[in-house]
Structure 1
């Protein structure tokens, strides 16, 4: 008769530490992508406004709203993914503490939660609307004063 040898799953297990590290890296990448969205938005909006001012066509300043809207949606998407992976991380930790962790949990990295709902929640976050509304207001002010 062959006995199965089982090892207890604890927080010091290399596989658990690796799993947590993978999720943490994903969360960090989503946060970096959110930040990059803001950076690219400012860059593109500035470039559009400079070109519009150079050409003396203030009516085209509203073109700068397009990257503002697109990057706001992209930023909210990245924040929603970040939140969903934080949910996954927290769920994993809870299962680890409750000793209900399974191999499926250990070898699966997936976001947890409704991405559409989380994206809508992210759009309501000050870090999204506060930034992108400010950009939109600056576009309007620039059109009205500096260009027009």
Structure 2
């Protein structure tokens, strides 16, 4: 294999890990929200809003890293074979760009709204 293909495979494995970590964070968040709703105590449900925000922050971090590695992939893809140095240095992507992704704000906002709605229903019931 050529050096360029090897370097692209290394970067692709980092992208895959970041995407997998992002999925795992969403799964853990959904598990915690489901457990809080099943327990159906207003205090527990409201207390779970903080972990949802923390999971959101972690997910934004992983998504930012994933985008940075995608940009690195594009840079390496455009280089000549002689320029390949197997560097994994990338230009960071601002987290606000990752937060604007619908896969982040829609998921975590719906989890927070669901927790607050169930808490209010339990409180009023």
Tell me if TM exceeds 0.5: yes
Q: Distance in 1 between matches of 2:24 and 2:14?
A: 15
Aligned equivalent of 1:133 = 109
Does residue 144 (structure 1) correspond to residue 111 (structure 2)? The answer is no
Q: Distance in 2 between matches of 1:114 and 1:22?
A: 18
Which has the higher mean CA deviation after the structures are superposed, 78-87 or 58-67? 58-67
For residues 32-63 of structure 1, the C-alpha deviation after alignment (integer angstroms, 9 at most, x for no partner) is: 11111110001112223333x2xxx4234211
Aligned equivalent of 2:6 = 18
The root-mean-square deviation of aligned C-alpha atoms, in Å, is: 1.7
- Secondary structure in 2 matching 1:106: coil
Out of 58, 63, 85, the residue aligned to residue 106 of structure 1 is 85
Larger radius of gyration: 1
Which structure has more RCO (C-alpha within 8 Å, separation ≥ 6)? 2
Which consecutive unaligned segments of at least 5 residues does structure 2 have? none
Q: Distance in 2 between matches of 1:61 and 1:125?
A: 26
Aligned 8 A contact 1:49 1:64 in 2: no
Aligned 8 A contact 1:45 1:67 in 2: no
Aligned equivalent of 2:47 = 63
Q: 1:40-119 alignment to 2 at 5 Å?
A: 40-51=28-39, 53=40, 57-96=41-80, 101-102=82-83, 105-110=84-89, 112-115=90-93, 117=94, 119=95
TM-score of the superposed pair, with normalisation by structure 1: 0.75
Q: Distance in 1 between matches of 2:47 and 2:116?
A: 11
